Protein backbone atom coordinates (compact mmCIF):
# COMPACT_ATOMS: atom_id res chain seq x y z
CA UNK A 1 0.00 0.00 0.00
CA UNK A 2 2.77 2.43 0.92
CA UNK A 3 4.52 1.65 -2.38
CA UNK A 4 1.28 2.47 -4.20
CA UNK A 5 1.07 5.84 -2.42
CA UNK A 6 4.71 6.52 -3.16
CA UNK A 7 4.18 5.73 -6.81
CA UNK A 8 1.09 7.97 -6.82
CA UNK A 9 3.26 10.90 -5.81
CA UNK A 10 6.25 9.89 -7.91
CA UNK A 11 8.39 8.70 -5.02
CA UNK A 12 10.98 5.96 -5.21
CA UNK A 13 10.09 2.52 -3.86
CA UNK A 14 12.51 -0.03 -2.45
CA UNK A 15 12.55 -1.92 -5.75
CA UNK A 16 13.34 1.29 -7.63
CA UNK A 17 15.63 3.43 -5.50
CA UNK A 18 16.34 5.87 -8.32
CA UNK A 19 14.48 9.12 -7.89
CA UNK A 20 11.81 9.55 -10.53
CA UNK A 21 11.05 13.00 -11.89
CA UNK A 22 8.92 15.25 -9.72
CA UNK A 23 5.25 15.52 -10.51
CA UNK A 24 3.43 18.82 -10.29
CA UNK A 25 1.65 18.01 -7.01
CA UNK A 26 4.90 17.23 -5.24
CA UNK A 27 6.66 20.24 -6.75
CA UNK A 28 3.80 22.55 -5.72
CA UNK A 29 3.67 21.08 -2.20
CA UNK A 30 7.45 21.47 -1.83
CA UNK A 31 7.14 25.16 -2.71
CA UNK A 32 4.35 25.54 -0.16
CA UNK A 33 6.62 23.95 2.45
CA UNK A 34 9.37 26.36 1.37
CA UNK A 35 7.05 29.30 2.06
CA UNK A 36 5.94 27.83 5.38
CA UNK A 37 9.55 27.37 6.51
CA UNK A 38 10.81 30.74 5.26
CA UNK A 39 10.28 32.55 8.56
CA UNK A 40 12.15 29.87 10.48
CA UNK A 41 9.23 28.03 12.05
CA UNK A 42 6.42 25.90 10.67
CA UNK A 43 3.32 26.51 12.76
CA UNK A 44 0.35 24.15 13.22
CA UNK A 45 -2.00 26.58 11.46
CA UNK A 46 0.31 26.51 8.43
CA UNK A 47 0.29 22.72 8.38
CA UNK A 48 -3.50 22.74 8.64
CA UNK A 49 -3.74 25.19 5.73
CA UNK A 50 -1.33 23.05 3.68
CA UNK A 51 -3.49 19.96 4.17
CA UNK A 52 -6.62 21.93 3.26
CA UNK A 53 -5.05 23.34 0.09
CA UNK A 54 -3.71 19.95 -0.99
CA UNK A 55 -7.07 18.30 -0.40
CA UNK A 56 -9.07 21.03 -2.09
CA UNK A 57 -6.88 22.01 -5.04
CA UNK A 58 -5.02 18.80 -5.74
CA UNK A 59 -7.82 16.34 -5.00
CA UNK A 60 -5.97 14.18 -2.49
CA UNK A 61 -7.46 12.56 0.60
CA UNK A 62 -6.45 13.70 4.08
CA UNK A 63 -4.19 10.67 4.44
CA UNK A 64 -2.59 11.25 1.05
CA UNK A 65 -2.14 14.94 1.95
CA UNK A 66 -0.05 13.87 4.95
CA UNK A 67 2.03 11.58 2.75
CA UNK A 68 2.44 14.32 0.19
CA UNK A 69 3.44 16.79 2.91
CA UNK A 70 6.16 14.43 4.15
CA UNK A 71 7.45 13.90 0.62
CA UNK A 72 7.36 17.67 0.06
CA UNK A 73 9.35 18.28 3.24
CA UNK A 74 11.92 15.73 2.07
CA UNK A 75 12.09 17.30 -1.40
CA UNK A 76 12.38 20.76 0.14
CA UNK A 77 15.19 19.56 2.41
CA UNK A 78 17.13 18.19 -0.55
CA UNK A 79 16.56 21.19 -2.85
CA UNK A 80 19.32 23.67 -3.56
CA UNK A 81 17.12 26.16 -5.41
CA UNK A 82 13.57 26.83 -6.60
CA UNK A 83 14.25 26.02 -10.24
CA UNK A 84 13.96 22.25 -9.82
CA UNK A 85 10.37 22.72 -8.70
CA UNK A 86 9.36 25.66 -10.86
CA UNK A 87 10.63 24.10 -14.09
CA UNK A 88 8.32 21.13 -13.51
CA UNK A 89 5.40 23.44 -12.77
CA UNK A 90 5.96 25.67 -15.77
CA UNK A 91 6.13 22.62 -18.02
CA UNK A 92 3.20 20.69 -16.53
CA UNK A 93 0.75 23.43 -15.51
CA UNK A 94 -1.29 25.68 -17.73
CA UNK A 95 -1.56 29.38 -16.90
CA UNK A 96 -4.73 28.97 -14.81
CA UNK A 97 -3.05 26.29 -12.68
CA UNK A 98 0.04 28.47 -12.21
CA UNK A 99 -2.10 31.41 -11.12
CA UNK A 100 -3.91 29.12 -8.67
CA UNK A 101 -0.54 27.96 -7.34
CA UNK A 102 0.56 31.53 -6.64
CA UNK A 103 -2.73 32.09 -4.83
CA UNK A 104 -2.06 28.91 -2.81
CA UNK A 105 1.39 30.22 -1.92
CA UNK A 106 -0.17 33.44 -0.62
CA UNK A 107 -2.54 31.27 1.43
CA UNK A 108 0.54 29.66 3.00
CA UNK A 109 2.09 33.07 3.66
CA UNK A 110 -0.95 34.34 5.55
CA UNK A 111 -1.86 31.04 7.28
CA UNK A 112 -0.15 32.24 10.45
CA UNK A 113 -1.63 35.74 10.18
CA UNK A 114 1.56 37.58 9.29
CA UNK A 115 3.71 38.39 6.30
CA UNK A 116 7.44 37.79 6.58
CA UNK A 117 9.74 39.39 4.02
CA UNK A 118 11.34 36.01 3.19
CA UNK A 119 7.91 34.52 2.43
CA UNK A 120 7.06 37.47 0.19
CA UNK A 121 10.38 37.06 -1.60
CA UNK A 122 9.80 33.36 -2.27
CA UNK A 123 6.37 34.00 -3.76
CA UNK A 124 7.83 36.75 -5.95
CA UNK A 125 10.65 34.50 -7.20
CA UNK A 126 8.37 31.52 -7.82
CA UNK A 127 5.88 33.71 -9.69
CA UNK A 128 8.65 35.08 -11.90
CA UNK A 129 10.03 31.60 -12.61
CA UNK A 130 6.64 30.19 -13.62
CA UNK A 131 5.75 33.15 -15.83
CA UNK A 132 3.30 35.06 -13.64
CA UNK A 133 3.36 38.83 -14.10
CA UNK A 134 3.86 41.13 -11.11
CA UNK A 135 0.40 42.64 -11.51
CA UNK A 136 -1.23 39.21 -11.33
CA UNK A 137 0.89 38.22 -8.34
CA UNK A 138 -0.17 41.34 -6.45
CA UNK A 139 -3.86 40.89 -7.39
CA UNK A 140 -3.72 37.34 -6.03
CA UNK A 141 -2.10 38.62 -2.85
CA UNK A 142 -4.89 41.18 -2.41
CA UNK A 143 -7.53 38.49 -3.04
CA UNK A 144 -6.08 36.30 -0.29
CA UNK A 145 -5.74 39.28 2.06
CA UNK A 146 -9.41 40.21 1.48
CA UNK A 147 -10.43 36.71 2.56
CA UNK A 148 -8.42 37.05 5.78
CA UNK A 149 -10.70 39.78 7.13
Q: How far apart are CA 16 and CA 71, in angstroms?
A: 16
CATH dotted code for 22-148: 1.10.3680.10
Kindly report which listed range (19-23, 63-67, 93-97) carries the lowest average pLDDT score.
Answer: 19-23
Q: Is the pLDDT of residue 11 over 80?
A: no
Q: What is the mean pLDDT of the chain?
A: 86
Q: How far apart are CA 39 and CA 17, in angstroms?
A: 33
Rounded percentage of the chain residues whose pLDDT exceeds 90: 53
CA distances from 118 to 36, 102, 107, 121 (A): 10, 15, 15, 5
Which residue ranges make up each domain of the chain?
Answer: 22-148
CB 109 within 8 A of CB 119: yes
pLDDT band at 128; cut points 50, 70, 90: very high
Long-range Cβ pairs for the range 39-44 (8 Å, 24+):
39/112, 39/116, 39/118, 39/119, 43/111, 43/112
pTM comes to: 0.82
Query: For 31-71, how does the pLDDT look when each residue is reduced to its tens digit (9 = 90+)?
Result: 999 999 998 888 999 999 998 898 888 888 888 888 888 89
| Cα Dmax for the chain | 49
Amino acid sequence: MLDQIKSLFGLATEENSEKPPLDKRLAAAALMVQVMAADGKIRPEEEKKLHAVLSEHYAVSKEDAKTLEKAARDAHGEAVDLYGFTSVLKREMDMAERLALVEDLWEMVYADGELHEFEDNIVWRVAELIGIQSRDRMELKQRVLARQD
